[in-house]
Structure 1
Amino acid sequence: MHYGIDITRKNRVLFQGFLDKFSLEELNKVPKGFRNNIIWNIAHCIVTQQLLIYKLSGLEGVLSDKMISEYRKGTKTERNLSQSEVDEIRNLLFIPLDQTEVDYNARAFKNYKEYTVSTGSTLTSVDEALVFNNFHEGIHLGYILALIKSL
Protein backbone atom coordinates (compact mmCIF):
# COMPACT_ATOMS: atom_id res chain seq x y z
CA MET A 1 0.00 0.00 0.00
CA HIS A 2 1.23 3.49 -0.85
CA TYR A 3 1.98 5.32 2.40
CA GLY A 4 0.37 8.59 1.22
CA ILE A 5 -2.85 6.83 0.29
CA ASP A 6 -2.84 5.06 3.65
CA ILE A 7 -2.59 8.41 5.45
CA THR A 8 -5.48 9.79 3.38
CA ARG A 9 -7.52 6.71 4.23
CA LYS A 10 -6.90 7.25 7.95
CA ASN A 11 -8.04 10.88 7.65
CA ARG A 12 -11.17 9.74 5.82
CA VAL A 13 -11.95 7.41 8.75
CA LEU A 14 -11.91 10.53 10.96
CA PHE A 15 -14.26 12.26 8.50
CA GLN A 16 -16.55 9.23 8.58
CA GLY A 17 -16.63 9.50 12.37
CA PHE A 18 -17.84 13.09 12.12
CA LEU A 19 -20.61 12.00 9.75
CA ASP A 20 -21.62 9.33 12.28
CA LYS A 21 -21.47 11.62 15.31
CA PHE A 22 -23.18 14.79 14.17
CA SER A 23 -26.77 15.41 13.11
CA LEU A 24 -27.73 16.67 9.69
CA GLU A 25 -28.40 20.07 11.24
CA GLU A 26 -24.93 20.15 12.82
CA LEU A 27 -23.22 19.01 9.60
CA ASN A 28 -24.96 21.84 7.73
CA LYS A 29 -24.42 24.60 10.30
CA VAL A 30 -22.15 27.48 9.27
CA PRO A 31 -21.13 29.11 12.55
CA LYS A 32 -20.61 32.85 12.75
CA GLY A 33 -17.18 33.75 11.39
CA PHE A 34 -17.00 30.73 9.03
CA ARG A 35 -17.81 30.44 5.31
CA ASN A 36 -18.37 26.70 5.28
CA ASN A 37 -19.67 23.81 7.32
CA ILE A 38 -18.49 20.33 8.27
CA ILE A 39 -20.05 18.56 5.29
CA TRP A 40 -18.67 21.08 2.79
CA ASN A 41 -15.15 20.57 4.14
CA ILE A 42 -15.45 16.79 3.79
CA ALA A 43 -16.86 17.00 0.25
CA HIS A 44 -14.20 19.57 -0.68
CA CYS A 45 -11.45 17.14 0.37
CA ILE A 46 -12.96 14.37 -1.76
CA VAL A 47 -13.14 16.68 -4.79
CA THR A 48 -9.66 18.16 -4.31
CA GLN A 49 -8.06 14.72 -4.11
CA GLN A 50 -9.61 13.79 -7.43
CA LEU A 51 -8.56 17.05 -9.09
CA LEU A 52 -4.98 16.92 -7.79
CA ILE A 53 -4.46 13.26 -8.67
CA TYR A 54 -6.62 12.60 -11.73
CA LYS A 55 -7.25 15.90 -13.51
CA LEU A 56 -3.61 16.97 -13.33
CA SER A 57 -2.64 13.51 -14.60
CA GLY A 58 -4.97 13.94 -17.57
CA LEU A 59 -7.26 11.15 -16.36
CA GLU A 60 -10.94 10.97 -15.51
CA GLY A 61 -11.80 10.57 -11.87
CA VAL A 62 -14.96 9.04 -10.45
CA LEU A 63 -16.84 12.19 -9.40
CA SER A 64 -19.62 13.96 -11.25
CA ASP A 65 -19.03 17.37 -12.80
CA LYS A 66 -21.80 18.70 -10.53
CA MET A 67 -20.01 17.58 -7.39
CA ILE A 68 -16.71 19.02 -8.60
CA SER A 69 -18.30 22.38 -9.40
CA GLU A 70 -20.02 22.57 -5.99
CA TYR A 71 -16.97 21.74 -3.84
CA ARG A 72 -13.84 22.71 -5.75
CA LYS A 73 -11.42 25.40 -4.64
CA GLY A 74 -13.09 28.80 -4.47
CA THR A 75 -16.55 27.49 -3.59
CA LYS A 76 -18.40 27.87 -0.32
CA THR A 77 -21.48 26.50 1.38
CA GLU A 78 -24.46 27.70 -0.64
CA ARG A 79 -27.26 25.63 0.88
CA ASN A 80 -28.11 22.93 3.39
CA LEU A 81 -27.64 19.40 2.12
CA SER A 82 -30.26 16.68 2.45
CA GLN A 83 -29.59 13.43 4.26
CA SER A 84 -29.38 11.62 0.92
CA GLU A 85 -26.69 14.08 -0.25
CA VAL A 86 -24.74 13.53 2.97
CA ASP A 87 -25.08 9.77 2.44
CA GLU A 88 -23.69 10.16 -1.08
CA ILE A 89 -20.69 12.06 0.29
CA ARG A 90 -20.23 9.35 2.93
CA ASN A 91 -20.18 6.73 0.16
CA LEU A 92 -17.51 8.73 -1.67
CA LEU A 93 -15.10 8.88 1.26
CA PHE A 94 -13.36 5.68 0.18
CA ILE A 95 -14.50 4.71 -3.35
CA PRO A 96 -12.35 7.32 -5.16
CA LEU A 97 -9.46 6.62 -2.82
CA ASP A 98 -9.67 2.86 -3.44
CA GLN A 99 -9.67 3.56 -7.18
CA THR A 100 -6.64 5.82 -6.77
CA GLU A 101 -4.78 2.96 -5.13
CA VAL A 102 -5.74 0.54 -7.93
CA ASP A 103 -4.69 3.05 -10.58
CA TYR A 104 -1.47 3.93 -8.77
CA ASN A 105 -0.50 0.26 -8.50
CA ALA A 106 -1.32 -0.17 -12.20
CA ARG A 107 0.98 2.78 -12.98
CA ALA A 108 -1.85 4.69 -14.63
CA PHE A 109 -0.46 8.08 -13.62
CA LYS A 110 2.18 8.43 -16.34
CA ASN A 111 1.86 12.14 -17.05
CA TYR A 112 1.42 15.04 -14.67
CA LYS A 113 0.75 18.68 -15.49
CA GLU A 114 2.71 20.92 -13.14
CA TYR A 115 0.51 22.90 -10.81
CA THR A 116 1.44 25.55 -8.25
CA VAL A 117 -0.78 25.32 -5.17
CA SER A 118 -1.87 28.25 -3.03
CA THR A 119 1.04 27.73 -0.60
CA GLY A 120 3.47 28.36 -3.46
CA SER A 121 4.67 24.77 -3.85
CA THR A 122 4.69 23.35 -7.35
CA LEU A 123 3.46 19.81 -7.81
CA THR A 124 5.32 17.98 -10.58
CA SER A 125 4.24 14.35 -10.08
CA VAL A 126 1.43 12.23 -8.74
CA ASP A 127 3.61 11.30 -5.76
CA GLU A 128 4.01 14.96 -4.85
CA ALA A 129 0.25 15.42 -5.30
CA LEU A 130 -0.44 12.54 -2.91
CA VAL A 131 1.80 14.16 -0.28
CA PHE A 132 0.28 17.61 -0.77
CA ASN A 133 -3.23 16.17 -0.65
CA ASN A 134 -2.57 14.96 2.88
CA PHE A 135 -1.37 18.43 3.90
CA HIS A 136 -4.54 19.87 2.35
CA GLU A 137 -6.81 17.38 4.10
CA GLY A 138 -5.03 18.13 7.38
CA ILE A 139 -5.88 21.80 6.99
CA HIS A 140 -9.53 20.92 6.48
CA LEU A 141 -9.47 18.51 9.41
CA GLY A 142 -8.36 21.51 11.47
CA TYR A 143 -11.22 23.61 10.09
CA ILE A 144 -13.68 20.84 10.96
CA LEU A 145 -12.34 20.65 14.51
CA ALA A 146 -12.78 24.43 14.84
CA LEU A 147 -16.32 24.14 13.43
CA ILE A 148 -17.12 21.44 15.97
CA LYS A 149 -16.02 23.73 18.82
CA SER A 150 -18.34 26.40 17.39
CA LEU A 151 -21.44 24.19 17.26
Structure 2
Amino acid sequence: MNQAFEITQQNRKILHIYLQKYSLEQLNKIPEGFSNNLIWNIGHIIVVQQLLVYKLSGLQPMVSATLISKYARGTRPEGDVSQAEVDEIESLLFKTIEQTKTDLENNVFKNYHEFKNELGFTIKSAEEAIAFNYFHEATHLGIMMSIKKFV
Protein backbone atom coordinates (compact mmCIF):
# COMPACT_ATOMS: atom_id res chain seq x y z
CA MET A 1 0.00 0.00 0.00
CA ASN A 2 2.95 2.32 0.52
CA GLN A 3 3.54 2.36 -3.24
CA ALA A 4 0.00 3.66 -3.80
CA PHE A 5 0.73 6.54 -1.44
CA GLU A 6 4.10 7.22 -3.06
CA ILE A 7 2.49 7.40 -6.50
CA THR A 8 -0.26 9.66 -5.21
CA GLN A 9 2.24 11.90 -3.40
CA GLN A 10 4.28 12.27 -6.59
CA ASN A 11 1.17 13.15 -8.56
CA ARG A 12 0.19 15.72 -5.92
CA LYS A 13 3.65 17.29 -6.24
CA ILE A 14 3.01 17.70 -9.97
CA LEU A 15 -0.40 19.24 -9.25
CA HIS A 16 1.25 21.61 -6.80
CA ILE A 17 3.56 22.82 -9.57
CA TYR A 18 0.47 23.78 -11.59
CA LEU A 19 -0.81 25.81 -8.64
CA GLN A 20 2.54 27.58 -8.37
CA LYS A 21 3.22 28.08 -12.08
CA TYR A 22 -0.13 29.27 -13.43
CA SER A 23 -1.90 32.52 -12.64
CA LEU A 24 -5.43 32.62 -11.26
CA GLU A 25 -6.64 33.60 -14.72
CA GLN A 26 -4.87 30.63 -16.31
CA LEU A 27 -6.15 28.22 -13.65
CA ASN A 28 -9.71 29.39 -14.38
CA LYS A 29 -9.50 29.41 -18.18
CA ILE A 30 -11.59 26.80 -19.98
CA PRO A 31 -10.04 26.38 -23.41
CA GLU A 32 -12.24 25.89 -26.43
CA GLY A 33 -13.13 22.23 -26.80
CA PHE A 34 -12.78 21.51 -23.07
CA SER A 35 -15.51 21.38 -20.43
CA ASN A 36 -13.34 22.26 -17.44
CA ASN A 37 -10.13 23.97 -16.39
CA LEU A 38 -6.93 23.34 -14.46
CA ILE A 39 -8.27 24.29 -11.03
CA TRP A 40 -11.46 22.26 -11.46
CA ASN A 41 -9.38 19.16 -12.21
CA ILE A 42 -7.27 19.67 -9.08
CA GLY A 43 -10.33 20.27 -6.90
CA HIS A 44 -12.03 17.26 -8.46
CA ILE A 45 -9.04 15.01 -7.75
CA ILE A 46 -9.08 15.99 -4.06
CA VAL A 47 -12.84 15.63 -3.67
CA VAL A 48 -13.09 12.28 -5.45
CA GLN A 49 -10.29 10.81 -3.32
CA GLN A 50 -12.18 11.83 -0.22
CA LEU A 51 -15.49 10.45 -1.48
CA LEU A 52 -13.97 7.17 -2.65
CA VAL A 53 -12.07 6.49 0.54
CA TYR A 54 -13.98 8.24 3.33
CA LYS A 55 -17.59 8.65 2.28
CA LEU A 56 -17.86 5.10 0.93
CA SER A 57 -16.37 3.94 4.25
CA GLY A 58 -19.16 5.76 6.08
CA LEU A 59 -16.77 8.41 7.39
CA GLN A 60 -16.78 12.20 7.19
CA PRO A 61 -14.58 13.52 4.35
CA MET A 62 -11.97 16.16 5.19
CA VAL A 63 -13.37 18.45 2.48
CA SER A 64 -16.38 20.70 2.94
CA ALA A 65 -19.82 20.04 1.50
CA THR A 66 -19.30 23.20 -0.58
CA LEU A 67 -16.19 21.77 -2.26
CA ILE A 68 -17.94 18.45 -2.80
CA SER A 69 -20.86 20.17 -4.52
CA LYS A 70 -18.47 22.09 -6.81
CA TYR A 71 -16.00 19.33 -7.69
CA ALA A 72 -17.75 15.96 -7.42
CA ARG A 73 -18.27 13.73 -10.43
CA GLY A 74 -20.74 15.25 -12.88
CA THR A 75 -19.95 18.87 -12.00
CA ARG A 76 -18.35 21.51 -14.19
CA PRO A 77 -16.91 24.94 -13.40
CA GLU A 78 -19.73 27.41 -12.83
CA GLY A 79 -17.60 30.52 -12.77
CA ASP A 80 -14.16 31.66 -11.83
CA VAL A 81 -12.61 30.38 -8.61
CA SER A 82 -11.21 32.98 -6.21
CA GLN A 83 -7.65 33.02 -4.95
CA ALA A 84 -9.00 32.07 -1.51
CA GLU A 85 -10.52 28.91 -2.98
CA VAL A 86 -7.29 28.08 -4.81
CA ASP A 87 -5.49 28.48 -1.47
CA GLU A 88 -8.00 26.16 0.21
CA ILE A 89 -7.53 23.55 -2.51
CA GLU A 90 -3.76 23.90 -2.22
CA SER A 91 -3.95 23.39 1.55
CA LEU A 92 -5.84 20.12 1.04
CA LEU A 93 -3.51 18.76 -1.63
CA PHE A 94 -1.09 16.94 0.67
CA LYS A 95 -3.00 17.04 3.96
CA THR A 96 -5.74 14.74 2.63
CA ILE A 97 -3.27 12.09 1.48
CA GLU A 98 -1.21 12.22 4.68
CA GLN A 99 -4.38 11.84 6.77
CA THR A 100 -5.58 8.95 4.62
CA LYS A 101 -2.26 7.18 5.12
CA THR A 102 -2.47 7.72 8.90
CA ASP A 103 -6.08 6.57 9.01
CA LEU A 104 -5.26 3.43 7.03
CA GLU A 105 -2.38 2.62 9.40
CA ASN A 106 -4.78 3.11 12.34
CA ASN A 107 -7.43 0.80 10.81
CA VAL A 108 -10.04 3.57 10.65
CA PHE A 109 -11.63 2.13 7.50
CA LYS A 110 -13.70 -0.77 8.83
CA ASN A 111 -16.83 -0.72 6.66
CA TYR A 112 -16.90 -0.04 2.96
CA HIS A 113 -19.88 0.33 0.67
CA GLU A 114 -18.97 -1.55 -2.52
CA PHE A 115 -19.00 0.72 -5.53
CA LYS A 116 -18.94 0.06 -9.27
CA ASN A 117 -17.85 3.09 -11.24
CA GLU A 118 -18.74 4.13 -14.78
CA LEU A 119 -15.58 2.48 -16.13
CA GLY A 120 -16.60 -0.90 -14.76
CA PHE A 121 -14.20 -0.99 -11.81
CA THR A 122 -15.75 -2.56 -8.70
CA ILE A 123 -14.17 -1.18 -5.55
CA LYS A 124 -14.76 -3.29 -2.45
CA SER A 125 -12.56 -1.72 0.22
CA ALA A 126 -10.79 1.46 1.23
CA GLU A 127 -7.52 -0.16 0.16
CA GLU A 128 -8.92 -0.79 -3.33
CA ALA A 129 -10.23 2.80 -3.40
CA ILE A 130 -6.75 4.11 -2.57
CA ALA A 131 -5.26 1.98 -5.35
CA PHE A 132 -7.93 3.03 -7.87
CA ASN A 133 -7.46 6.67 -6.89
CA TYR A 134 -4.02 6.96 -8.45
CA PHE A 135 -5.49 5.73 -11.76
CA HIS A 136 -8.17 8.42 -11.44
CA GLU A 137 -5.62 11.12 -10.63
CA ALA A 138 -3.41 10.12 -13.56
CA THR A 139 -6.38 10.40 -15.91
CA HIS A 140 -7.03 13.97 -14.77
CA LEU A 141 -3.36 14.87 -14.90
CA GLY A 142 -3.45 13.82 -18.55
CA ILE A 143 -6.42 16.13 -19.15
CA MET A 144 -4.53 18.95 -17.43
CA MET A 145 -1.49 18.35 -19.62
CA SER A 146 -3.76 18.91 -22.62
CA ILE A 147 -5.41 22.00 -21.14
CA LYS A 148 -2.08 23.67 -20.26
CA LYS A 149 -1.21 23.89 -23.97
CA PHE A 150 -4.08 26.36 -24.40
CA VAL A 151 -3.84 28.57 -21.32
Q: Can you list the C-alpha shifts for 1:69-128, whole angstroms capped at 9, x where unaligned?
A: 110000001110111111111111011111101100001111111000111110001111
RMSD: 0.9
Counterpart for residue 97 of structure 1: 97
Partner of 2:79: 79
**Which SS does the other structure have where 2:130 is aligned?**
helix
Return the alpha-carbon distance in structure 2 between the equivalents of residues 131 and 7 of structure 1. 10
Structure 1 contact 61–96 (Cα < 8 Å) conserved = no
- Tell me, in whole angstroms, the C-alpha distance in 1 between the residues paired with 2:90 and 2:6: 18
How many aligned positions are there? 151
| Ranges of 4+ aligned residues in structure 1 off by more than 6 Å | none
Letter in 2 for 1:90: E
Matched with 1:107 is 107
* Counterpart check, 1:49 vs 2:62: no
- Mapped to 2, the partners of 1:20 and 1:6 lie a distance apart of 21
**CA displacement at 1:4 relative to structure 2:** 1.0
The corresponding residue for 1:2 is 2
With 74-83 and 1-10 compared, the bigger mean Cα shift is at: 1-10
Return the alpha-carbon distance in structure 1 between the equivalents of residues 61 and 77 of structure 2. 23
> Structure 2 length normalisation: TM-score?
0.97
**Percentage of pairs with the same residue:** 49
Q: In 2, distance between residues paired with 1:6 and 1:53?
A: 17
Amino acid at match of 2:149: K
Cα distance in 2 for residues equivalent to 1:71 and 1:2: 27
Question: 1:141 maps to what in 2?
Answer: 141
Segments of structure 1 that go 5 or more residues without pairing to the other structure are: none
Shift of 1:150: 1.7
**Matches of 1:6 and 1:57, distance apart in 2:** 22
Q: Give the Cα separation in 1 of the matches to 2:94 and 2:27.
A: 19
- Give the structure-1-normalised TM-score: 0.97
